[in-house]
Amino acid sequence: MEFRMLGPFEVVVDGASVPLGGAKQRALLAILAIHANEVVSVDRLIDELWGERAPDSASSTIQAYISRLRKALEPAGANGAGRLIDSKPPGYVLRTPPESVDSIRFTELLETAGETLEAGRPAEASRLLGEALALWRGPALSDFSFEPFAQTEIGRLEELRLTAVEDRIDAELACARHARVVAELEALVAQHAFRERLRVQLMLALYRSGRQADALEVYRAGRRRLVDELGIEPGPRLHELQRAILAQDPALDVPLRGARAAPRTRRQRRLTVAAALAAASAVVAAAIVGFDGGKPAAPVRVNVTPHSVAVVDPATNAVVAVRRVGGWPIPIERGGGFVWAANTGDDTVSRIDPDTKLVLDTFFATTPLDLAWRDGVIWIANGNSFDGPDPPGGGTVERYDVATRKLKQTRIAPPAADLLTYVAAGLEGVWAGCQSVARVFRLDPRSGKIAAEVPETIQVAGMAVGAGSVWVSDAINDVVVRIDPRTNLPVARIPVANGPRDLAVGENAVWVTGEFPRSGVWRIDPRTNRAVAHVAVPSRANRVAVGAGSVWVTSKTPGHAGPRLRVAD
């Protein structure tokens, strides 16, 4: 059974479309499919289907719709060991394997292709992206294009579709297929005039096709439109490319056929961003630990300027750029083509262009302690301050929508002065935890509201998602708790000494730092739920990330009680 949303909504069994009844009944199933394997309350269903004009009989009408949908779908063999549409207070849940929903398959292919492209395999990435885009049969949920309940999901899917097209064009350019994509890019730029990534791609494709004057005209036309209609100048990427074309920079030349990518482009993709501690005299040592056959390489120290974001080239372990941000930058995250740095000292978050290394803009947040990215939203965990008096609040999570530039807040714990809050996001969902109340919550990725609570006390000290699970460190009890995102239940408690804190998932392992009594990073095998290796890191290991074939760990300088730090590839 397939649930298809990348086009008109339909359910297909053995190649045949299943009749789903009237418009409201179809809409009910579409809502459940959008939130597949999540409980949707009856109140929310009523609100989505009727809004403020809900009839008095709305609840009983929904029950009737559910009964009819079960009769239409479950005899087709969809129920398996249990019901396809299950009653679960306070509403209903559509239980179906993720691969049976085309939008989920599309998202997973898009993410895999992105990782493949960054790994230097553009031909394979192009094939994966072609497979992902072939799932589309028209505009997303086109038969519900005017229904309020579908607008957020339609917008999300259409944005991802355009991102997939842009990624595929990047892969084609890396394969020296620039002439092939010029016509397609000209049509896309005409349709999405303010999308600068497409304009950059068109300029590069034209330049590589021997059409330098046309490439510069694309820049001039884009600048005129931005200035005339929006009153703004083109972004740094367009400026940089225009200057490179005028200088006939060799870095713009066609890559060798079959080669990974142009050296500068590949190097830019590999550059790692590290946030510095804010104390004026603080020095941070970032230990870069490579694993070969399970044996760690010798750590390398990288000193980072205070109150700044530094860019580290993992090929040389050298700082190649430093950008001043706000006070006390602690967490740092990558997503949406940008790097995000949270400045706890002045309650702001900065957005950085990873290519130009420029700070594009900054917005206010509520004492940001942790960051996570998913589907066009940067999630911000709020807590107490490390610089100055503690604020009266904390224990909240904010979601900043990049498209609308709106910031919304969800409280997950009562206000207190000592709240430490954490957040993690990915294909496994959006999760938040609060150390002071010892609780972990699953958040609705669209509204940001609490969707479920993990029924176990966990003294949260760090969170990560990956390998099909949610991983939460408990520094008080010296364990890492593994949570099944489908059931919201803990499935393993993995002993990890030294007060486990920050976590990262990658390179077929889960990595967790510990400070006392031995500073270092533990390696957990997700297949066995066991800690299989420990690497000593000097000066109190703090935050950890995985990227560029290495594990990146930050450590505090001896005797310094400053905040934590994340290094992200």
Q: Which domains can be identified in the chain, with CATH numbers?
A: 2-100 (1.10.10.10), 271-568 (2.120.10.80)
pLDDT band at 296 (very low <50, low <70, confident <90, very high): low
pLDDT band at 304 (very low <50, low <70, confident <90, very high): low
Q: What digits encode the pLDDT tens for the residues 406-455?
A: 889 999 888 765 678 899 998 888 999 988 889 999 999 988 999 999 98
Terminal CA-CA length for the chain: 39
Give the angle 289-295-298 at the CA atoms, nearest 5°.
40
pLDDT of residue 185: 94
Return all residues near 231 (Cβ < 8 A) that are at least 6 apart.
none
Query: Residue 515 and residue 259: Cα distance in Å, rounded?
Result: 43
Query: Residue 471 and residue 463: Cα distance in Å, rounded?
Result: 6
Q: What digits encode the pLDDT tens for the residues 101-129?
A: 999 999 999 999 989 988 889 999 999 99
pLDDT band at 367 (very low <50, low <70, confident <90, very high): confident
Query: Residue 127 and residue 542: Cα distance in Å, rounded?
Result: 39
Which tokens sit at 57? 């009989």
pTM of the model: 0.51
CA nearest to 366, candidates 389, 335, 344, 388? 344
pLDDT of residue 387: 42
Task: Count CA atoms within 13 Å of residue 469 on its CB side.
Answer: 24
* Higher per-residue confidence, 244 vs 519: 244
DSSP secondary structure, 490-505, as one string: EEEEEE-SS-EEEEEE
Q: What digits encode the pLDDT tens for the residues 221-272?
A: 999 998 888 888 888 889 889 988 988 888 887 665 444 443 333 333 333 4
Q: What is the mean pLDDT of residues 323-343?
A: 84
Return all residues near 369 (Cβ < 8 A) that are at least 6 apart.
330, 331, 342, 344, 381, 382, 383, 420, 421, 422
Query: Residue 330 and residue 307: Cα distance in Å, rounded?
Result: 10
What average pLDDT does the chain have? 82
> Which amino acid is it at 167?
D
pLDDT at 292 over 90: no
Q: Lowest mean pLDDT: which of 53-67, 186-200, 208-222, 294-308?
A: 294-308
pLDDT of residue 417: 53
Q: What digits encode the pLDDT tens for the residues 376-400?
A: 899 999 876 544 444 445 788 999 9
Query: Residue 225 and residue 220: Cα distance in Å, rounded?
Result: 9
Determine how β-strand 40-41 pairs with β-strand 85-88: unpaired
CA 522 to chain centre: 24
Give whole-number Cα distances, 338 to 351, 354, 357, 376, in Å.
7, 6, 10, 11
Which tokens sit at 264? 């500068």
